[in-house]
């Protein structure tokens, strides 16, 4: 493929964790040094096979817990990526607070990592234990300090709400604590309980819908007051610190996905890498391809784009699909615009503020039949 047409964003999934959180259904294994070494060899093979774009603009190393790797392994992982990250604008790594030390922080800086996403989840010590997290707020404070000391001050914090027994005051306290660390970006996710998690097996449930909606409303009130613009349903940033990598997903652009548990999108196809580590180690080049018919691409472009407060550029949509939004969704587009659920402003299609939290039900009207 022509270098200019290759994806400019890369996601790598590190499938190891030092402990398993009760709500988590991501692809992860307990970290074992030998297995992580085997994984690095497989990843080396995968990276060289696909001849990645050497002009990547964003790289996101997620997981799992990338910093569950040893210092030596983290250095090897980032060295594998060095040839592709010369021009990268945003280079993010996810960090679990209890897994970063001085040596690892220095390794991140040496390889040009310039953004960190830290899983804080809640500042309530009891709740942290209830959800199977092993860090303390002191660990988070220390992680932020270490990162800043090593020149990484573009920091995002993840928080969760609708956790079992969580109160509004506990959420407010967590937000206060998060803001005291002066992050550039905050992501807030409500608990969803999947069957294949510890919570799923124990029959734990999130809070009732009304409380969850109240918490979301509180988040959307407090964070803008503190200067963070809500630019996506679950994401808030200081001006200029929106996640460039995640914007690739929301703009429905191509991206590479490497390693077990990752997905990618290239040239009108989505692909899934093997979900399990052993399958991946057996065949790191395996990709399960899912061709995307234009109808699906149009719907998914709208589905992802409407998550953004700014919505979707209608001229970009038309250029991409050779038809207008109204032509692509004839009938339902007029209905949703007429009902005021969607609106068009300055060439962008957006979800009206009053329906933003009900986006999924708005989208269900646009689903291809």
Residue choice 96, 117, 143, 170 for contact with ligand SF4 (CB under 6 A): 96
Minimum CB distance to ligand SF4 smaller for 99 or for 170: 99
β-strands 312-313, 155-161: how paired? unpaired
Contact between 189 and ligand SF4 by CB under 6 A: the answer reads no
Minimum CB distance to ligand SF4 smaller for 140 or for 342: 140
Residue choice 20, 316, 337, 363 for contact with ligand SF4 (CB under 6 A): 20
Beta strands in the chain (DSSP E): 9-14, 16-17, 29-30, 58-63, 90-95, 115-121, 155-161, 185-190, 229-232, 235-237, 256-258, 263-266, 269-272, 288-291, 312-313, 342-345, 348-351
CB of 30 to ligand SF4, least distance (A): 10
Which of the stretches 58-66, 77-85, 257-265, 312-320 binds ligand SF4 when contact is defined by CB under 6 A?
58-66
Contact between 271 and ligand SF4 by CB under 6 A: the answer reads no
CB of 218 to ligand SF4, least distance (A): 23
- Give 3-state DSSP helix, strand, coil % of the chain, rounded to 5: 45, 20, 35
Contact between 305 and ligand SF4 by CB under 6 A: the answer reads no
Paired tokens of 53: 């774009």
Q: How many CB atoms lie within 10 A of CB 19?
A: 17
Spatial contact of 311 and 317, defined as CB atoms under 8 Å apart: no
Spatial contact of 52 and 84, defined as CB atoms under 8 Å apart: yes
Which of the stretches 21-29, 32-40, 47-55, 204-212 binds ligand SF4 when contact is defined by CB under 6 A?
21-29
Residue choice 10, 14, 24, 74 for contact with ligand SF4 (CB under 6 A): 24
Spatial contact of 74 and 107, defined as CB atoms under 8 Å apart: yes
Residue choice 12, 21, 77, 306 for contact with ligand SF4 (CB under 6 A): 21
Residue choice 6, 8, 13, 28 for contact with ligand SF4 (CB under 6 A): 28
C-alpha–C-alpha distance, residues 14 and 36, integer Å: 9
Footprint of ligand SF4 on 113-172 (CB under 6 A): 119
Contact between 88 and ligand SF4 by CB under 6 A: the answer reads no
Say how many residues touch ligand SF4, by CB under 6 A.
Answer: 11
Please tell me the number of Cα atoms within 13 Å of 286 on its side-chain side.
15
Minimum CB distance to ligand SF4 smaller for 25 or for 212: 25
Contact between 97 and ligand SF4 by CB under 6 A: the answer reads no
Minimum CB distance to ligand SF4 smaller for 19 or for 332: 19
Instruction: Give all strands of the β-sheet with 269-272 in edge-to-edge order.
Output: 263-266, 269-272, 288-291
Which of the stretches 16-24, 103-111, 148-156, 190-198 binds ligand SF4 when contact is defined by CB under 6 A?
16-24
C-alpha–C-alpha distance, residues 205 and 219, integer Å: 21
Which of the stretches 57-65, 83-91, 163-171, 275-283 binds ligand SF4 when contact is defined by CB under 6 A?
57-65
Which of the stretches 23-31, 75-83, 151-159, 230-238 binds ligand SF4 when contact is defined by CB under 6 A?
23-31
- If phi > 0 it is left, if psi is from -120 to 50 it is alpha, else beta; for residue 241 that is alpha
Residue 204, CA distances (Å) to 65, 130, 197, 265 in order: 24, 11, 10, 34
Residue 150, CA distances (Å) to 101, 105, 115, 122 in order: 11, 7, 11, 25
Footprint of ligand SF4 on 61-80 (CB under 6 A): 63-65
Contact between 174 and ligand SF4 by CB under 6 A: the answer reads no
Contact between 105 and ligand SF4 by CB under 6 A: the answer reads no
Minimum CB distance to ligand SF4 smaller for 27 or for 366: 27
Rounded-to-10 torsion of CA 234, 240, 246, 247: 100
Residue nearest to ligand SF4 (CB): 24
> Residues interacting with ligand SF4, by CB under 6 A?
17, 20-21, 24, 26, 28, 63-65, 96, 119
């Amino acid at each position: 493929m022509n270098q200019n047409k290759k994806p400019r964003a890369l996601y790598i999934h590190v499938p190891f964790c030092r402990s398993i959180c009760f709500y988590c259904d991501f692809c992860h294994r307990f970290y074992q040094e030998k297995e992580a070494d085997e994984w690095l060899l497989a990843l080396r093979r995968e990276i060289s096979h696909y001849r990645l774009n050497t002009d990547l603009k964003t790289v996101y190393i997620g997981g799992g817990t990338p910093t569950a790797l040893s210092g030596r392994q983290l250095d090897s992982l980032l060295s594998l990526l060095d040839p592709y990250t010369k021009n990268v604008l945003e280079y993010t790594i996810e960090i679990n607070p209890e897994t970063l030390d001085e040596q690892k922080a220095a390794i991140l800086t040496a390889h040009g990592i310039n953004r960190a996403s830290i899983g804080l989840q809640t500042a309530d010590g009891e709740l942290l234990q209830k959800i199977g997290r092993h860090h303390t707020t002191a660990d988070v404070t220390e992680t932020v300090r270490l990162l800043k000391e090593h020149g990484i001050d573009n920091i995002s914090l993840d928080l969760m709400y609708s956790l079992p027994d969580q109160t509004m005051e506990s959420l407010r306290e967590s937000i206060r604590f998060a803001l005291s660390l002066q992050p550039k970006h905050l992501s807030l996710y409500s608990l969803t309980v999947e069957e294949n998690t510890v919570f799923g097996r124990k029959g734990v449930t999130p809070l009732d819908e009304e409380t969850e909606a109240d918490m979301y409303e509180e988040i959307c009130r407090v964070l803008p007051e503190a200067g963070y613009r809500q630019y996506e349903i679950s994401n808030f940033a200081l001006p200029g610190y929106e996640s460039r990598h995640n914007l690739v997903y929301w703009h429905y652009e191509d991206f590479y996905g490497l390693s077990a548990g990752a997905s990618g999108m290239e040239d009108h196809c989505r692909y899934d890498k093997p979900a399990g580590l052993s399958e991946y180690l057996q065949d790191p080049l395996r990709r399960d391809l899912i061709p995307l018919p234009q109808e699906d691409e149009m719907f998914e472009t709208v589905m992802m784009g409407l998550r953004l407060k700014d919505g979707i550029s209608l001229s970009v949509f038309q250029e991409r699909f050779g038809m207008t939004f109204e032509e692509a969704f004839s009938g339902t587009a007029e209905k949703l615009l007429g009902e005021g659920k969607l609106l068009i402003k300055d060439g962008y299609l957006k979800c009206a503020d009053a329906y933003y939290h009900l986006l999924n039900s708005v989208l269900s009207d646009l689903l291809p039949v």
